[in-house]
Structure 1
Amino acid sequence: MFTRVHQYSTNEQVRVPNVIALVGLPARGKTYISYKLCRYLNWIGIKTRAFNVGEYRRQACDFEKEGKADFFDHSNERAVRIRDECAKHAMEDMGRYLDSKKGEVAVFDATNTTRPRRKMLLDFCNREDHETKFRLFFIESVCDDPDIIDSNITEVKVNSPDYKGRMTEEQAKQDFLQRIEKYSAQYAPLCEEKDAELSFIKVINAGRSFFVHNVNGHVQSRVVYFLMNIHLLPRSIYLTRHGESEYNKIGRLGGDSPLSENGVCYAHKLRKYFEKENIQDLRIWCSQKIRVAQTANHLKDLAAHVEYWKVLDEIDAGICEGLTYEDFEARYPKQFSERDKDKYHYRYPSGESYEDLVARLEPVIMELERQSNVLVISHQATIRCILAYFDNKKREELPYLNVPLHTVIKLTPKAYSCQIEMFKFKIDAVDTYRAKPTEELPWELNGTESNLCRSP
């Protein structure tokens, strides 16, 4: 009865901290979902952190004695007690994170396969000692496709901290299969009838279908929207700015100027690069600016589709369009100083901020998550925003990512990272990068798999 009253009361509130809890057997992609979800929510400005119960377990017990499959047997009372304590510690840390206002969303990454464990989570979110009670949403990853499960075990789990360096791949795989059997014996899936008052989404076979139940609030809606668009098919995403423009040569902001002679040369070289790449069903997405359209025109016949998106246009500099940085500083010294203090949130008068640009580009990110091979031809600020999403960059880093002219950035999304390669073309171009004040060097890409810069 208490839970029911709380459900209605939190439904009426707007700004409520959210707990997103994963549910599902091992090797169903829960940590992958957790990683992607944290990256997305942080990128759109919702402060989010994941709490992985497996990490707490690894700190609490010795793998050699406790970490193998028998540790996950429901009849092993000592192990059950340890695992429950680890879950409680993770919940307490999660509660402190949300109560302190350091974050708005906490992702509880664990199997949560039993109703008692999910009841423990629900009771925790309803606790009276929280400053504000937490809204709870479950994501259950359901998978019976043996190919997906086998791929997940082979590519991810055998490299987990539980196994890497401790046993052979075959030993790790066999132990992990036994672990899945232990969890399967007690698994109680979420049910529309038995769990009628809970909010949840079932992601079935890596997103082939979904079941959504009782979604409450803005955050849960955004989570559902995101989950229904992601996939992990092999693909590459290519990002490049247009070729050097006439405005680039004289250092002017924005505008709609055509390509310079060097810019036209880059467009020709870009075509040769993609002829060598020989990508099947390549899609090209462009902004609607002249310099981008001219760059894309040289590649039209190599693409299955070419689309011109206004949302890919450069950041709107408002009253500063067409000015040089020197003009900007001389005419609007206070505005110039404000921008240097907080470039991410600074909004040009009658124009946009990087924060506005991220909101504008969200549909592009969703489509990039859904599509196969895509080349995006756009502008410095827009590519910074896209790159920051895939490279998991913080807001304060985003406006200072170095995206030079005449360079192709190739992104290859992986399960828990993104391989980043940079190909610099040997064609002269002005340097449009403006470093962060007091910073000697530009922010560098993580390139979690690699950070390569080479000539094609």
Structure 2
Amino acid sequence: ARELTQNPLQKTWEPYDNGLPAGHSAQRGVCMTNCPTLIVMVGLPARGKTYISKKLTRYLNWIGVPTKEFNVGQYRRDLVKKYKSFEFFLPDNEEGLKIRKQCALAALNDVRQYLSEENGHVAVFDATNTTRERRETIYKFGEENGYKTFFVESVCVDPEVIAANIVQVKLGSPDYVDCSNDEATEDFMKRIECYKNSYETLDETLDKDLSYIKIMDVGRSYLVNRVMDHIQSRIVYYLMNIHVTPRSIYLCRHGESELNLKGRIGGDPGLSVRGKEFAKSLAQFINEQNIKDLKVWTSQMKRTIQTAEALGVPYEQWKVLNEIDAGVCEEMTYEEIQENYPLEFALRDQDKYRYRYPKGESYEDLVQRLEPVIMELERQENVLVICHQAVMRCLLAYFLDKPAEQLPYLKCPLHTVLKLTPVAYGCKVESIFLNVEAVNTHRDKPENVDISRPPEEALVTVPAHQ
């Protein structure tokens, strides 16, 4: 007889048959609304497929959708330790074909493991997948396993875009460690030619039943076909917002506030004397950086607006950039929270990402609230965001691909600017302290998170304050 058992962590009820989990609906070949999604990249080499895969994976994980990418090129490198030349990719190289097929199957096997056994929601299958036959095989694989398949094709005809892709990514590839740049470029161009003859692009008529987005010249235009559900529409929405123009994003907190000095959280205080000093230093720093068309964003809180005022440039206020709402704990010190709400304080230490202040917010809520900011940051070029500790942690976790468990403990000190510059597949971070002292507001997770802990063990990591 089937019984229901609750998974205490995920708060989900699951049917059990004779003490064992009852089969997942997908294993019975039924495609439910909420079934896993298989994203399949399509396109010639050096078209930004891996860039898109990594970025999409990072975004979906950040919004709370468990996602993993499977790069078939990496499977090949693991199998064939030494790359010799483009000849491996020739259509009549039987050994090469055999190895490439073997790698694709190994990757699909891992996709199945991840989506059907490990509770993954989205898998990104990153390979060229340039023939209709190969895509048909993958589509059938998805159908057999109860996944929805969504294709993402990147088409580039602009020679400048292709050249930039080759320089940025392929020259740093493990395939070309022992080559000069010219040798690598020449070999890689020949590798692209190997695929060109058999390349069949997604076609409005022939592929009318497939779900896909086709991206032309990194976002010059798009073709979207048969979007089947919420997750596919989120993917399309995201992919239509990203670009590859070089730029930098500057993140910093407001200057030190009156409540920071007193160790109190939240509230809407003004800047301290040192906070005002920082605002002047920030203006000087931004001036010296000589940034083209810089946009400045703040929250709607007094301390970020006062910081931006010193810059003497136009700025925009965003309500969604306001600090995390601490609910009943607003304007309290950690000592007061421990005294008045010891249970809440312990529960927050046990799971800081998901814990929600009574009548307030959690970091998880904050990530949902900040999604429009991420979309807009992806669209923009140079931006300075003057925000708050919890908000900055969420934004930083997105750009640096940090998991939810680490997010609430990322260090975002006062009076320090973080300059983020997107590079090939990630983000370069420079931390610039502007030489104006400020209090430390970072509280690490204490060792004892038990609800019956003594107060001194709860307060051991609280930073010093007035």
Q: Report if TM-score (shorter chain) is over 0.5.
A: yes
Deviation at 1:219, TM superposition (A): 1.4
Alpha-carbon RMSD across the aligned residues, in angstroms, is 1.4
Specify which of 184, 189, 208 is matched with residue 196 of structure 1. Answer: 208
* 2: CA distance, partners of 1:28 / 1:169: 19
Bigger Cα displacement from structure 2, 247-256 vs 154-163? 154-163
Deviation at 1:225, TM superposition (A): 0.7
Deviation at 1:9, TM superposition (A): 6.6
1:250-287 superposed Cα distances (whole Å, 9 cap, x missing partner): 11110001111111111111111111112121110000
Residues 1:140 and 2:157 aligned together: no
Residues 1:246 and 2:270 aligned together: no
The amino acid of 2:58's aligned partner reads R
Deviation at 1:27, TM superposition (A): 0.6
Aligned to 1:56: 75
* 2: CA distance, partners of 1:159 / 1:48: 25
Deviation at 1:158, TM superposition (A): 1.7
1:402-449 superposed Cα distances (whole Å, 9 cap, x missing partner): 11111111111112111101111222211111011239xxxxxxxxxx
The amino acid of 1:267's aligned partner reads A
Specify which of 59, 69, 73 is matched with residue 40 of structure 1. Answer: 59
Specify which of 45, 50, 55 is matched with residue 31 of structure 1. Answer: 50
Aligned to 1:112: 129
Aligned to 1:263: 275
* 2: CA distance, partners of 1:96 / 1:19: 13
* 1: CA distance, partners of 2:74 / 2:437: 49
Matched position secondary structure for 2:175: coil
Matches within 5 A, 1:231-380: 231-301=243-313, 305-380=314-389
* 2: CA distance, partners of 1:181 / 1:144: 14
Residues 1:155 and 2:157 aligned together: no
The amino acid of 2:312's aligned partner reads K
* 1: CA distance, partners of 2:160 / 2:209: 34
The amino acid of 1:138's aligned partner reads F
Specify which of 19, 27, 41 is matched with residue 22 of structure 1. Answer: 41
- Check whether the contact 1:258–1:291 (CA below 8 A) recurs between aligned residues: yes
The amino acid of 1:150's aligned partner reads A
1:262-321 superposed Cα distances (whole Å, 9 cap, x missing partner): 1111111111111111212111000000111111101133xxx41000000000001111
- Check whether the contact 1:232–1:414 (CA below 8 A) recurs between aligned residues: no
1:197-228 superposed Cα distances (whole Å, 9 cap, x missing partner): 11100010011110000011121111101100
Residues 1:391 and 2:400 aligned together: yes
* 2: CA distance, partners of 1:308 / 1:146: 40
Residues 1:80 and 2:97 aligned together: yes
* 1: CA distance, partners of 2:336 / 2:409: 21
Matched position secondary structure for 2:222: strand
Structure 1 residues 9 and 193: CA distance shift in structure 2, 3 A: farther
Residues 1:89 and 2:106 aligned together: yes
* 1: CA distance, partners of 2:185 / 2:290: 36
Deviation at 1:73, TM superposition (A): 1.5
Residues 1:71 and 2:88 aligned together: yes
Deviation at 1:14, TM superposition (A): 2.3
Specify which of 218, 228, 233 is matched with residue 240 of structure 2. Answer: 228
Deviation at 1:361, TM superposition (A): 0.4
Deviation at 1:62, TM superposition (A): 4.6
Deviation at 1:56, TM superposition (A): 1.1
Structure 1 residues 386 and 62: CA distance shift in structure 2, 3 A: closer
* 1: CA distance, partners of 2:81 / 2:359: 60
Deviation at 1:34, TM superposition (A): 0.6
Bigger Cα displacement from structure 2, 348-357 vs 100-109? 100-109
Bigger Cα displacement from structure 2, 153-162 vs 18-27? 153-162
* 1: CA distance, partners of 2:89 / 2:431: 44
Aligned to 1:122: 139
- Check whether the contact 1:232–1:415 (CA below 8 A) recurs between aligned residues: no
Residues 1:175 and 2:187 aligned together: yes
Matched position secondary structure for 1:314: coil
Aligned to 1:449: none
* 2: CA distance, partners of 1:87 / 1:172: 24
* 1: CA distance, partners of 2:51 / 2:258: 44
Matches within 5 A, 1:205-216: 205-216=217-228
1:71-93 superposed Cα distances (whole Å, 9 cap, x missing partner): 11222223212211110110001
Aligned to 2:229: 217
1:14-52 superposed Cα distances (whole Å, 9 cap, x missing partner): 211011010000010000001101110111011111101
Moved over 6 A (4+): none
Matched residue pairs, number? 420
* 1: CA distance, partners of 2:51 / 2:300: 35
* 2: CA distance, partners of 1:21 / 1:68: 26
The amino acid of 1:43's aligned partner reads W
* Alignment gaps of 5+ in structure 1: 1-7, 440-456
- Check whether the contact 1:22–1:110 (CA below 8 A) recurs between aligned residues: yes
Aligned to 1:444: none
